[in-house]
């Protein structure tokens, strides 16, 4: 039985070998000859085009299978945060209800799709995957901080609402009504301080208006050295945020100092109203913040964040709980670990459980230790 | 072997077991003879079980040597028998090649030899048990807790206020000290070879061992149970001191941390608080009351830093603060690389001055 | 087993298990002894039964097992018959010798364990 | 003498050709489907040798790192991974497999059986081991290797202190290598007891067969303890059932008890077969029968038992009560005696050599072994003395000790074995000249490397340290050890070179009895093993019957052909080796390989939390096993065959005489060992933490009596149904639907009992994550679930066989096996009910 089959197999093997060598040879000739035209103006054959599109669509469909959307995508605050980044970073190429595609972008091949229409052809999970990872060979970049899925969801929350959005609704979400012109390339080095402050406030809020979303923390009253360092770290890609890296990267060094001073001089707000407090969680959080947890090797937060006179440890009291939790989770996961200060916080955050993170955040959000901090100053 | 050990050992009145055997003394000298060719350093060394200076270690020593020499004899006997079996004259070989040699050499001889060694070992064990049981009221109690990866040492005092130290055990010579061994994380094992055998520190249990140093001196110990990460860098020193010195040391240890005595040290103290060091470390008499890392109240007077990993000087403090993750990878202290050179020097000077 | 004729009878007496138990009687008693004394000692100490009770239990168990085992070793052949091990089987002397010697070694093991109880205090941490 | 031969007539034409055809080895890529013991034996040994070399390379990296103090050649984290992998690989992927491999390879030859009784089971075990082992080992290349030490002590290995998948790779990876070892053990027990040649009674067995029999028995008792341990640890890591967490009533020491109850016998599991091999080679080199054969048998049996009595030997420094330490110290003394017996027996045999003991390469390795093993034994007695152990435990002294025992006691005999038995399966012998070089390099290298470690340890150097400071007197010694390690490695490298140069596997043209040995493996062989199966009258038949080789080759002994046309061998009685029946054995097939791939895939994918592919993989395994088993049972289509000497034997056997029944009994012994380990764990945790047991404050009380009583009734009813189903088995060719119905109902009844028991605790409010007590209670149900799942699968299989007309009163092995497991499951569940519901009231 085998005696008959063996030459048969050998023939197939030889045939395959010859075929493979032939293909390799032809390919080599083609590549080295320079016959292929890489011009953006030279369009693909229809069949190549169809194949590329199919590959792209299948790839996105398959790879987005493991994506699970968070529960609160319908949250307008999230969409608002996404809209503000969209206006800044995406609209020039993809157009928006109030602006057309830039002619430069239109010259790309493939041309960036007009999102006001194209969004509908993708599922939520797929949109998330594309925004996060970008698309090879298309000019679509990946999210500058790929680990920050939480930020990507903000953008997706906005994109979900984009199809058929009126100019008015868009202006409301993107904040162009509030501060006219703030949503252009506002952080350009030439911009004056007031415009820059307005641009920051567009997301982070001020004494009159709350931040658009807890992920954009209120800046008023934060310590100046910390704010300066944060902006520099964003600009240098040492702290991860797709939104802030884009913004901080545009700022001139003097502007960073100015902005930090302006916000540091303001009075810190109180964001959590007494009625919204979870006292049980706060009490547990207080124990961690004030005394630490010995068995888990967690030091007391207050030592650095309240009683220390150093301006490098951020003031936590009054920051939104969601923001504190997100940052602790980023520290814990080792995403935020690149700066010398993050190197201190990351190993400590790694010892916190989910529940401890929740409790600590609840405690600081209610800002009960203002007095102690003032005394230390 | 340290010269003079033999005589001092023979004079020990607590040597219930085997101590008076002249054979044991000969064995000890033979040790030097046997290994000196191989071992320039001899049997001594700060962490050597072969130069005992504690009661338990001294009890184990002659048992060890008895077993060793029995083993050497057995091995020699086997070698000789094999040589005879291979190359001996035929009558000798005929004599060897029978069943009885298997019964005699394989059953009777081992049972006799093993019974002897076994009973000797039981007597040593019983002596150890009695020593633990008889450690009376004047016994000092010290709790040693295995941390990742250092040792917290708590001395009970008559005043009731415990004294907390780290990474070294002080023993008054000639007085039994009861060690309570605990762990709140993984399993460690406490081993000070010159003083006594090892005993594990197991979460959920308290193990007890009574140590008694027989002569003053500094020896070294190390964690003997693999505890992950830098297990290799979890050591300590045992400092046996005359009773009066010990009392003086204990009294000094009970005092609060020294005030900085130079402007640089004073600045160092500021740096200490500004950077939140007190969250993990305690310095008696200051607001720093952290209990996560070692107590630093008298850190400057200790024998080593970082669980016997670094010498105790200002330079080592500075290295440790900024570079501890390279010196001792995965240890639980974060690196503080943000400090400027003057700040760092000041902090190191302050800590070094905490004597 | 002398000849090919024997092979034509597929059965054998005694059964396999009887033979295996006969060969391993001593070690099995040794195992029983260790289980008993270790279990009893641990349990009595954990329940606070006291050192004396523990030691007494161990020594009793040792005597109760060592004495019958010694007797079996002395009357090896007759004990074999209890297992249905009849004389005349091919290799029977070898089986007997194996049984006797495993029993002897086990006896040594049992007595050593008993010695420990005679010398050591029970219920204190090993030192 | 001719008239004493089983077959005197001339052999018929074509008989040899039929035999050859039946046993042909598949060619080309189909070689992977081969199941013949010689083929897969070579593969098995080769794979084990590969792991030996890989783990050896890890050792060299470690030795290089330790050559000088404060070295930074490798990082701390990597060092911790490689010392864990070195130990794990050497123990689980080299030592146990290589010994099983030698069993697979040599046993059928020594017993002149045509193959082991379950050829496909061996093939399955080997493929599972190779695939799983390679994947497991490769974790070292991508920073996923476990780093908790090969002993994996919790709490260090719990999720809190070992996050990431590294530890899970150890637990699951090792889990199925254990399964592979147990499969091998079943094979070896049944093989040695049932496939001996006619006339080879128990006391005429070669010593190696004795050693393997005891080896396999020890695996049956020892491995379940560590299997339970790994299950508990993995469950605690994944689901938080607190078996080892002190705050919730667990105890880290429970792991140590379970692990060392396996871990210490493990040393002897490795050593006994090696000693058995030495007992085979020494007589050959002396040309004199082993002096004290029965004493060696005594030594093997005694070691097998005593080695289980000294697991606490590894826990002398944990603070266990003094008297308990004394007991285990005593057992450690007891286990030393049998080793003495063997050493003196070998010396006596050497002395009896005619004219003198020959010094060949195997002899050199044996002499080296004698010296090294004696030193290792002596230091073994030292560490068995409790106070000495207080000092040397967990130091390099112990590292030196157990390398003396393991390398001396196992690796040196193994190399002797390679040189000695290579001619049996190769066209060439290995080079004697190079062999001497290999020996001296290894011997000198070994002693230079490991002897100084005794002193390093006494000078205070602990084990498992990736670096050490200067000034403690360890520098010179460590440097010497490192140099020695490289010399040792050079010896092994030279051996591998020689192997590539000289080793040419063959089944027909191997070298004929080059050493002049007296045992059956040196008969002329082909893929079918020997032409006829010899009638054995002594322990060294080749010495005592000079014409035996010729007679066997001429087909004058038993079963000279392949009367059924397929693969077959004679099954004999366990003590006297009287022929009982002829088993028909399966030939090459893809299913064992597929099942092994499925099982390896199941465990490994589960480790990286790919649950769906893992389940698919598991289904592949079960389906492959079904297909494999389906074709296996020929039934009595050819009622009986003549094997010679006028003996006619049936070709199908059911009931206690059948080899399948024996395999099931062995499996049940394994399962009961596992359950006994569980009962021990339950009682142990109660002794440690009675405060989490019922009747203590805050612990839910026991369920009402009605619950366990109903569960018990369901179990008993289930057994009764299965028993009734057995009575309803139809005669051949008839139908009886009630059989399928009753068997199915039996399965349902067991499942109901299981649910009833689990539910009864759930409704009291007890949860497995509450305390060690809760965890233990649900663990009992988990263990029952495993057995019942197996029962249910067997029942479904039996029902399927029934509907296919392949199960009846004569062809009933499938049902008998299922029923046997059912009755065992019933006993296990009833014992569990008594323990879980009867013990707590008693204890309070």
Residue environment code for D649-678, b if the CB has 16+ CB neighbours within 10 A, otherwise e: bebbbbeebbbbbbbbbbbbbbbbbbbebb
Q: How many helices (H) and strands (E) does chain B have?
A: 10, 10
pLDDT band at A270 (very low <50, low <70, confident <90, very high): low
Q: What pLDDT is stored for residue A190 in this prediction?
A: 62
Nearest CA in chain C to B121: C116
| C14 pLDDT higher than 80 | no
Would you call B232 and D371 a contact, using CB atoms and an 8 Å cutoff? no
Q: Is residue C52 part of a domain?
A: yes
What is the rounded distance in angstroms from the CA atom of residue B166 to the CA atom of residue B154? 8
- Say whether residue D198 is in contact with chain C using an 8 A CB cutoff: yes
Asked if residue A269 lies in contact with residue A207, where contact means CB atoms within 8 angstroms, the answer is yes
Contacts of A9 in chain D (CB under 8 A): 28
Nearest CA in chain D to B98: D348
- Say whether residue D385 is in contact with chain C using an 8 A CB cutoff: no
Q: Domain map of chain B by residue range? A: 5-134, 140-253, 263-352
Q: What pLDDT is stored for residue A271 in this prediction?
A: 59
Q: What pLDDT is stored for residue B9 in this prediction?
A: 30
What is the rounded distance in angstroms from the CA atom of residue D462 to the CA atom of residue B104? 38
Contacts of D28 in chain A (CB under 8 A): 2, 6, 9
Asked if residue B211 lies in contact with residue B56, where contact means CB atoms within 8 angstroms, the answer is yes
Q: How far is C8 from chain B (nearest CA, A)?
A: 35
| B138 pLDDT higher than 80 | no
Nearest CA in chain C to B124: C127
Helix (H) or strand (E) holding D572: strand D567-572
Q: What percent of chain A has pLDDT over 70?
A: 89
pLDDT in tens, A220-242: 989 999 999 999 999 999 999 99
Would you call B290 and A300 a contact, using CB atoms and an 8 Å cutoff? yes
The angle at the Cα of B19, spanning B15 to B25, to the nearest 5 degrees, equals 145
CB nearest to B122's CB, from C101, C105, C120: C120
DSSP codes joined into one string, B329-355: TT-SSPP-TT--HHHHHHHHHHHHT--
Q: Is residue C81 part of a domain?
A: yes
Q: Which of B309, B277, B313, B283 is nearest to B295 (CA)?
A: B283
Q: What pLDDT is stored for residue B12 in this prediction?
A: 34
Q: Starting at the earlier edge strand, list the strands of the sheet with B217-222.
A: B168-172, B235-241, B217-222
Contacts of B128 in chain C (CB under 8 A): 126-127
SS3 D643: strand
Chains that touch B (3 or more CB pairs under 8 A): A, C, D
Contacts of A2 in chain D (CB under 8 A): 26-28, 30
pLDDT band at B7 (very low <50, low <70, confident <90, very high): very low
Asked if residue D342 lies in contact with residue B106, where contact means CB atoms within 8 angstroms, the answer is yes
Q: How far is D97 from chain C (nearest CA, A)?
A: 27
Class of domain B140-253: mainly beta
Question: Which chain B residues touch A if contact means CB-CB below 8 Å?
Answer: 148, 184, 273-280, 287, 290-292, 332, 334-338
Q: Is residue C124 part of a domain?
A: no
D and B adjacent (3 or more CB pairs under 8 angstroms): yes
Would you call A304 and B276 a contact, using CB atoms and an 8 Å cutoff? yes
Q: Decide whether B140-253 matches B263-352 in CATH topology.
A: yes
pLDDT per 10-residue tile (average), chain D, 844 residues: 74 89 87 90 94 96 95 94 95 94 94 92 91 91 91 93 90 83 93 93 94 95 94 94 94 95 93 95 95 94 93 91 91 93 96 92 96 95 95 96 94 96 92 95 96 95 94 93 97 95 87 91 90 92 92 90 89 91 90 92 86 91 89 81 87 89 95 96 93 84 91 95 90 80 92 94 93 95 95 91 86 90 96 94 82
Q: How far is B287 from chain D (nearest CA, A)?
A: 31
Tell me the average pLDDT of chain A: 86
Nearest CA in chain B to C124: B129
pLDDT in tens, D235-249: 999 999 999 999 999
Looking at 3.40.640.10, 3.20.20.10, 2.60.40.420, 1.10.3720.10, the CATH number of the domain B263-352 comes to: 2.60.40.420
What is the rounded distance in angstroms from the CA atom of residue D588 to the CA atom of residue B262? 86
pLDDT in tens, C25-77: 999 999 999 999 999 998 888 888 788 888 899 999 999 999 999 988 888 87
| B23 pLDDT higher than 50 | no
pLDDT in tens, A23-47: 999 999 999 999 999 998 888 899 9
Domains contained in chain D, CATH given: 36-502 (1.20.210.10), 658-843 (1.20.120.80)
- Say whether residue B68 is in contact with chain D using an 8 A CB cutoff: yes
Q: What pLDDT is stored for residue C50 in this prediction?
A: 82
- Say whether residue A6 is in contact with chain D using an 8 A CB cutoff: yes
Q: Which of B174, B207, B202 is nearest to B187 (CA)?
A: B202
Q: Is residue C9 part of a domain?
A: no
Domains contained in chain A, CATH given: 54-66+74-174 (1.10.760), 193-265 (1.10.760.10), 274-376 (1.10.760.10)
Residue listed under structure tokens 């509908």: A120
- Say whether residue B44 is in contact with chain D using an 8 A CB cutoff: yes
Contacts of D30 in chain A (CB under 8 A): 2
| A277 pLDDT higher than 90 | no
* Average pLDDT of span B272-296: 92
DSSP codes joined into one string, D706-762: HHHHHHHHHHHHHHHHHHHHHHTPPPTT---HHHHHHHHHHHHHHHHHHHHHHHHHH
Chains that touch D (3 or more CB pairs under 8 A): A, B, C
* Average pLDDT of span B126-146: 87
Q: How far is A239 from chain D (nearest CA, A)?
A: 25
Asked if residue D814 lies in contact with residue D807, where contact means CB atoms within 8 angstroms, the answer is yes
What is the rounded distance in angstroms from the CA atom of residue C103 to the CA atom of residue C29? 9
Cα B82 to its chain centre, rounded Å, is 42
* Residues 273 through 332 of chain D touching chain C, CB cutoff 8 Å: 293-295, 297-298, 301-302, 304-306, 308-309, 316, 319-327, 329-331
Q: What pLDDT is stored for residue A370 in this prediction?
A: 53
pLDDT band at A5 (very low <50, low <70, confident <90, very high): very low
SS3 B206: coil
Q: In D250-360, which residue ranges form alpha helices assigned H by DSSP?
A: 252-286, 293-306, 322-351
Structure tokens at D614: 């893992």
Q: What pLDDT is stored for residue D634 in this prediction?
A: 79
DSSP secondary structure code for residue D821 in this structure: H
Contacts of A309 in chain B (CB under 8 A): 273-274
Q: What pLDDT is stored for residue C3 in this prediction?
A: 67
Q: How far is D533 from chain A (nearest CA, A)?
A: 30
Would you call D340 and B106 a contact, using CB atoms and an 8 Å cutoff? yes
- Say whether residue D489 is in contact with chain C using an 8 A CB cutoff: no
Residue C90 domain boundaries: 15-119
Structure tokens at A143: 């999210």
Asked if residue B122 lies in contact with residue D361, where contact means CB atoms within 8 angstroms, the answer is no
Bigger pLDDT: B21 vs B82: B82
Contacts of B125 in chain D (CB under 8 A): 322, 325-326, 386-387
Contacts of B280 in chain A (CB under 8 A): 292, 299
Bigger pLDDT: B345 vs C43: B345
Q: Is residue C127 part of a domain?
A: no
Q: Which of D678, D318, D259, D692 is nearest to B203 (CA)?
A: D318
- How many domains in chain C? 1
Contacts of C126 in chain B (CB under 8 A): 125, 128-129
Query: Burial level of A30, CB count in 10 A (0-12/13-18/19+)?
Result: exposed
| B340 pLDDT higher than 70 | yes
Bigger pLDDT: D677 vs C9: D677
Would you call C127 and B209 a contact, using CB atoms and an 8 Å cutoff? yes
SS3 B42: coil
Q: What pLDDT is stored for residue A368 in this prediction?
A: 62
- Residue C122's φ and ψ, nearest 5 degrees, are -85, 160
Asked if residue B214 lies in contact with residue B58, where contact means CB atoms within 8 angstroms, the answer is yes
Would you call C31 and D337 a contact, using CB atoms and an 8 Å cutoff? no
Query: Counting one residue from B and one from D, how many pairs have CB atoms under 8 Å apart?
Result: 289
Helix (H) or strand (E) holding D822: helix D813-833
């Amino acid at each position: 039985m085998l005696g008959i089959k063996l030459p048969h197999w050998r023939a197939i093997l030889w045939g395959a070998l010859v075929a493979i060598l032939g293909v390799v040879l032809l390919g080599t000739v083609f590549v080295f000859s320079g016959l292929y035209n890489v011009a953006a103006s030279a369009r693909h054959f229809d069949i190549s085009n169809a194949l590329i599109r199919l590959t792209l669509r299948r790839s996105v469909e398959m790879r987005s299978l493991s994506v699970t959307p968070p529960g609160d995508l319908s949250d307008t605050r999230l969409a608002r945060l996404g809209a503000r980044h969209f206006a800044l970073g995406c609209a020039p190429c993809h157009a928006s209800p109030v602006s057309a595609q830039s002619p430069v972008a239109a010259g790309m091949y493939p041309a960036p799709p007009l999102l006001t229409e194209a969004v509908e052809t993708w599922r939520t999970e797929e949109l998330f995957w594309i925004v996060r990872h970008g698309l090879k060979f298309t000019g679509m970049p990946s999210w500058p901080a790929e680990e920050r899925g939480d930020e990507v969801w903000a953008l997706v929350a906005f994109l979900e609402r984009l199809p058929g959005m009126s100019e008015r609704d868009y202006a409301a979400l993107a904040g162009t009504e509030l501060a006219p012109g703030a949503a252009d390339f506002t952080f350009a080095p030439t911009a004056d301080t007031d415009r820059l402050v307005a641009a920051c406030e567009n997301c982070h809020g001020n004494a009159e208006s709350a931040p658009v979303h807890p992920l954009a923390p209120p800046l008023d009253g934060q310590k100046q050295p910390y704010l300066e360092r944060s902006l520099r770290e964003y600009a240098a890609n040492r702290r991860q945020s797709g939104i802030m890296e884009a913004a901080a990267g545009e700022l001139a060094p003097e502007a960073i100092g100015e902005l930090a001073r302006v916000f540091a001089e303001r009075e810190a707000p109180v964001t959590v109203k007494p009625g919204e407090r979870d006292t049980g969680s706060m009490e547990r959080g207080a124990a961690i913040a004030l005394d630490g947890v010995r068995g888990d090797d967690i030091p007391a937060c207050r030592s650095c964040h309240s009683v220390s006179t150093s301006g490098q440890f951020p003031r936590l009291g009054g920051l939104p709980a969601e923001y504190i939790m997100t940052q602790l989770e980023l520290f814990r996961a080792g995403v935020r670990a690149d700066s010398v200060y993050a190197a201190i916080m990351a190993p400590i955050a790694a010892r916190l459980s989910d529940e401890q993170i929740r409790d600590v955040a609840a405690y600081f959000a209610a800002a009960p230790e203002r007095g102690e901090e003032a005394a230390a100053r | 072997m340290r010269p003079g050990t033999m005589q001092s050992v023979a004079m020990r009145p607590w040597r219930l077991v085997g101590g008076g055997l002249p054979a044991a003394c000969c064995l000890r000298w033979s040790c030097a003879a046997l290994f000196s060719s191989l071992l320039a350093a001899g049997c001594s060394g700060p962490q050597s079980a072969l130069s005992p200076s504690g009661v338990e270690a001294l009890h184990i020593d002659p048992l060890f040597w008895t077993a060793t020499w029995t083993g050497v004899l057995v091995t020699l006997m086997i070698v000789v028998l094999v040589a005879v079996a291979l190359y001996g004259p035929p009558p000798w070989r005929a004599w060897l090649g029978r069943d009885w040699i298997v019964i005699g050499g394989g059953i009777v001889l081992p049972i006799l030899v093993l019974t002897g060694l076994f009973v000797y070992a039981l007597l040593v064990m019983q002596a150890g048990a009695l020593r633990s049981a008889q450690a009376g009221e004047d016994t000092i109690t010290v709790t040693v807790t295995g941390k990742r990866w250092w040792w917290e040492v708590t001395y009970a005092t008559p005043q009731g206020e415990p004294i907390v130290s780290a990474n070294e055990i002080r023993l008054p010579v000639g007085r039994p000290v009861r060690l309570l061994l605990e762990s709140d994380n993984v399993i460690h094992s406490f081993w000070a070879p010159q003083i006594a055998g090892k005993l594990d520190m197991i979460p959920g249990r308290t193990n007890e061992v009574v140590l008694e140093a027989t002569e003053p001196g500094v020896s070294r110990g190390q964690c003997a149970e693999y505890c992950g990460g830098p297990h290799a860098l979890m050591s300590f020193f045992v400092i046996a001191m005359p009773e009066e010195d010990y009392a003086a040391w204990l009294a000094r240890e009970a005092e609060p941390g020294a005030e900085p005595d130079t402007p640089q040290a004073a600045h160092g103290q500021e740096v200490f608080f500004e950077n939140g060091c007190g969250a993990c470390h305690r310095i008696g008499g200051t607001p720093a009351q952290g209990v996560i890392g070692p107590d630093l109240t008298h850190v400057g007077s200790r024998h080593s830093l970082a669980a016997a990993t670094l010498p105790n000087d200002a330079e080592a403090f500075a290295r440790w603060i900024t570079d501890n993750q390279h010196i001792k990878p995965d240890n639980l202290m974060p690196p503080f690389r943000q400090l400027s050179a003057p700040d760092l020097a000041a902090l190191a000077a302050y800590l070094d001055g905490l004597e | 087993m002398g000849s090919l004729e024997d092979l034509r009878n597929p059965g054998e007496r005694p059964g396999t298990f009887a033979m295996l138990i006969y060969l391993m009687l001593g070690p099995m008693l040794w195992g029983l002894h260790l289980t008993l004394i270790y279990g009893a000692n641990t349990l009595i100490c954990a329940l606070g039964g006291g050192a004396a009770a523990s030691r007494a239990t161990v020594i009793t168990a040792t005597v109760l097992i060592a004495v019958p085992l010694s007797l079996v070793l002395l009357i090896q052949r007759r004990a074999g018959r209890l297992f249905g091990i009849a004389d005349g089987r091919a290799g029977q002397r070898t089986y007997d010798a194996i049984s006797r010697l495993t029993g002897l070694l086990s006896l040594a093991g049992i007595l050593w364990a008993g010695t420990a109880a005679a010398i050591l205090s029970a219920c204190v941490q090993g030192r | 003498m001719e008239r004493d031969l089983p077959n005197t007539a001339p052999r018929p034409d074509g008989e040899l050709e039929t035999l050859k055809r039946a046993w042909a080895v598949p060619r080309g890529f189909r070689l992977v489907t081969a199941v013949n013991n010689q083929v897969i034996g070579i593969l098995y040994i080769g794979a084990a040798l590969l792991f030996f070399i890989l783990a050896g390379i890890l050792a060299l990296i470690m030795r290089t790192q330790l050559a000088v103090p404060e070295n930074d050649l490798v990082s701390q984290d990597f060092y911790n991974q490689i010392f864990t992998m070195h130990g794990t690989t050497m123990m689980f992927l080299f030592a146990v497999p290589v010994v099983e491999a030698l069993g697979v390879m040599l046993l059928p030859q020594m017993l002149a059986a045509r193959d082991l009784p379950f050829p496909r089971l061996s093939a399955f075990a080997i493929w599972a081991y190779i695939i799983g082992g390679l994947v497991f080992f490769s974790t070292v290349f991508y920073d996923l290797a476990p780093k908790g030490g090969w002993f994996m002590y919790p709490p260090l290995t719990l999720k809190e202190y070992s996050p990431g998948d590294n530890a899970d790779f150890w637990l699951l990876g090792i889990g199925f290598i254990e399964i592979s070892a147990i499969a091998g053990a079943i094979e070896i027990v049944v093989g040695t007891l049932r496939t001996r040649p006619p006339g080879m009674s128990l006391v005429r067995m070669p010593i190696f067969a004795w050693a393997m029999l005891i080896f396999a028995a020890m695996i049956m008792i020892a491995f379940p303890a560590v299997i339970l341990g790994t299950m508990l640890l993995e469950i605690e890591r994944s689901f938080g059932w607190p078996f080892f967490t002190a705050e919730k009533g667990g105890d880290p020491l429970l792991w140590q008890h379970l692990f060392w109850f396996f871990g210490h016998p493990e040393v002897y599991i490795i050593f006994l077969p090696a000693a058995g091999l030495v007992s085979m080679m020494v007589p050959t080199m002396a040309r004199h029968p082993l002096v004290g054969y029965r004493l060696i048998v005594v030594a093997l049996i005694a070691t097998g038992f005593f080695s289980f009595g000294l697991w606490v030997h590894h826990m002398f420094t944990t603070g266990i009560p003094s008297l308990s330490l004394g007991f285990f110290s005593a057992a450690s003394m007891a286990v030393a005696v049998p080793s003495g017996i063997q050493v003196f027996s070998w010396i006596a045999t050497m002395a009896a050599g005619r004219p003198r003991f020959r010094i060949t390469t195997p002899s050199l390795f044996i002499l080296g072994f004698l010296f090294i093993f004696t030193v290792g034994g002596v230091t073994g007695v030292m560490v068995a003395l409790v106070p000495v152990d207080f000092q040397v435990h967990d130091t390099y002294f112990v590292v030196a000790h157990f390398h003396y025992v393991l390398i001396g006691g196992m690796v040196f005999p193994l190399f002797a074995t390679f040189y000695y038995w290579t001619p049996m399966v190769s066209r060439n012998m290995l080079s004697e000249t190079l062999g001497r070089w290999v020996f001296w390099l290894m011997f000198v290298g070994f002693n230079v490397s490991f002897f100084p470690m005794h002193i390093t340890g006494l000078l205070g150097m602990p084990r498992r340290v990736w670096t050490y400071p200067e000034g403690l007197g360890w520098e010179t010694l460590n440097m010497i050890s490192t140099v020695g390690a490289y010399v040792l490695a050079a010896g092994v490298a030279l051996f591998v070179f020689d192997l590539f140069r000289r080793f040419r596997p063959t089944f027909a043209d191997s070298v004929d009895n080059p050493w002049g040995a007296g045992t059956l493996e040196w008969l002329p062989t082909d893929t079918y093993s020997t032409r006829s199966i010899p009638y054995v009258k002594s322990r060294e038949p080749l010495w005592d019957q000079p014409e035996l080789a010729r007679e066997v080759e001429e087909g004058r002994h038993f079963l000279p052909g392949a009367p059924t046309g397929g693969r077959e061998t004679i099954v004999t009685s366990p003590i006297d080796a009287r022929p009982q029946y002829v088993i028909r054995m399966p030939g090459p097939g893809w299913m064992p390989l597929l099942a092994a791939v499925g099982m390896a895939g199941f465990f490994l994918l589960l480790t990286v939390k790919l649950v769906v592919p893992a389940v698919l993989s598991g289904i592949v395994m079960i389906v492959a096993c079904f297909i494999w088993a389906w074709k296996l049972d020929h039934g009595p289509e050819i009622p009986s065959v003549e094997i010679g000497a006028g003996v006619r034997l049936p070709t199908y056997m059911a009931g206690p005489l059948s080899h399948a029944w024996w395999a099931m009994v062995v499996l049940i012994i394994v399962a009961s060992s596992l359950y006994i380990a569980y009962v021990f764990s339950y009682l142990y945790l109660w002794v440690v933490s009675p405060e989490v047991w019922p009747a203590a404050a805050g612990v839910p009380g026991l369920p009402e009596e009605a619950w366990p009583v109903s569960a018990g009734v369901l179990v008993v009813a289930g057994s009764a149904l299965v028993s009734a189903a057995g009575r309803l088995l139809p005669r051949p060719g008839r139908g009886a639907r009630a059989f399928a119905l009753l068997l199915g109902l039996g399965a349902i009844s067991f499942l109901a009992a299981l649910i009833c028991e689990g539910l009864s605790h759930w409704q009291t409010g007890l949860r497995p994550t509450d305390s060690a007590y809760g965890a233990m209670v649900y663990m009992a149900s988990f263990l029952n679930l495993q057995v019942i799942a197996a029962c249910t699968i067997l029942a479904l299989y039996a029902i399927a066989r029934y509907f296919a007309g392949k199960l009846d009163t004569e062809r009933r092995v499938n049902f008998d096996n299922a029923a046997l497991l059912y009755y065992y499951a019933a006993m296990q569940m009833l014992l569990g009910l008594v323990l879980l519901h009867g013990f707590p009231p008693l204890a309070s």
